[in-house]
Structure formats: structure tokens, C-alpha cells
Amino acid sequence: MDLYLREINKNDKDEILSMISEINNSTDYEKFEGLSNIKKVDNDNFDDFLIELENNKNMKLYKPHLVDQSTFVLVDNNNHIYGGTNIRHELNDNLLRHGGNIGYLIRPSERGNGYATLMLKLTLEKCKELDIHKVLITCREENIASAKVIESNGGIYESSLYIEEKNATYRRYWINIK
């Protein structure tokens, strides 16, 4: 089945809520790492979430201390959502330390099937469309799966940095997008 990235729309409510429920029921150490903006979505605020996603594309107008962000979900032709990715269009001091340009998450029931590796590849294509040609991607030192996803997509390891507020060490990788 063909999978592709697209923006979230009003018909995605049930799929997004079921993905959130899976994540909340998972044993992940930081449940929404990579896609933290879906954490607060519930049955009553989905329409507000869609407005927020639209506004986030011009985040700097609304929240000057943050950067513009685009969110996409990985879907099949039946509109089943496998996971999602956030693209930060530029880096601020915080993102430069950890967080980087791209965050991603695959819903627990779909992990281990290569979807994150595919989703990052498709996300890099979106970056190119957005005129972003060099990206920083970071992952926790213990997140072996995420490190493999980055390395499989050409990530060049630069350094590891201990982030006090997270009490975690992050591996930092760069990818040049041709």
C-alpha cells in the first residue's frame, strides 16, 4: 500500500484520538517525544487544534520566541494514520541544543515495520519543498530505534549533549538535503 505525508484535516479526528489513546497506554519513557503538539488534543478541542496547526505555519507572527512549524501525518489510501512529523522551519537556541528541525512519532501498533524510516525520508522531501536544505535531528541517547532511523536517512553524527531540564543526553545529527 502506498503511504504518503499530508496535513491533518477534520476527517482525521477519530484516527488522531485513537493514536493518542495508544500512546497514552504505551510504556514509552516520554510518550509524545517527537510529536508533542498532539498531546493535549481531545474530543472537544479538535477544531481548535486544526486552527492551531494552521497558525503554527506562521508561528513567529503569534509567538515571536518560537519558529514556524508544519505538521504532517503518514497515511495510507484508507486514511489510516501511522504517525506524524513536525518540521521546524528554522532553529532557535533551544532547538539547536535538542529538538532540531524535525520531530516524529509512529503510533505504537505500527512500530517496527520501517514506517519511521520511510516517514523521515518523506519528511526530508517536504523540507526541500519548504526550502530547508540542512536539518538538525536529535534523539535521546537511549533511543536506538530513532538513531537508526536518522542514520538510515543519511544523518551525520555531530555530538551528544546533556540537557539538564530533560535530564537526558541527546545525540545530534545533521542531514544535507540535495
Ligand X SMILES: CC(C)(COP(=O)(O)OP(=O)(O)OC[C@H]1O[C@@H](n2cnc3c(N)ncnc32)[C@H](O)[C@@H]1OP(=O)(O)O)[C@@H](O)C(=O)NCCC(=O)NCCS
Site of interaction with ligand X (CB under 6 A): 28, 33-34, 103-106, 111-117, 139, 143-146, 148-149, 152
Contact 157, 138 (CB under 8 A): no
Nearest distance from C-beta of residue 38 to ligand X, angstroms: 11
Contact 15, 9 (CB under 8 A): no
With respect to ligand X, which residue has the nearer C-beta, 62 or 114?
114
CA dihedral of residues 23, 29, 35, 37 (deg, nearest 10): 80
Nearest distance from C-beta of residue 48 to ligand X, angstroms: 24
With respect to ligand X, which residue has the nearer C-beta, 58 or 109?
109
Nearest distance from C-beta of residue 80 to ligand X, angstroms: 14
How many angstroms separate the Cα of 51 from the Cα of each of 9, 48, 54?
A: 10, 5, 5
How many angstroms separate the Cα of 138 from the Cα of each of 17, 65, 113, 168?
A: 26, 20, 21, 12
Nearest distance from C-beta of residue 61 to ligand X, angstroms: 27
DSSP calls for 32-48? TTT-GGGTT--TTSHHH
Of 167, 162, 153, give the one whose Cα is nearest residue 123.
Answer: 153
Of 57, 73, 101, 68, give the one whose Cα is nearest residue 8.
Answer: 73
With respect to ligand X, which residue has the nearer C-beta, 145 or 156?
145
Nearest distance from C-beta of residue 44 to ligand X, angstroms: 25
With respect to ligand X, which residue has the nearer C-beta, 123 or 143?
143
With respect to ligand X, which residue has the nearer C-beta, 18 or 117?
117
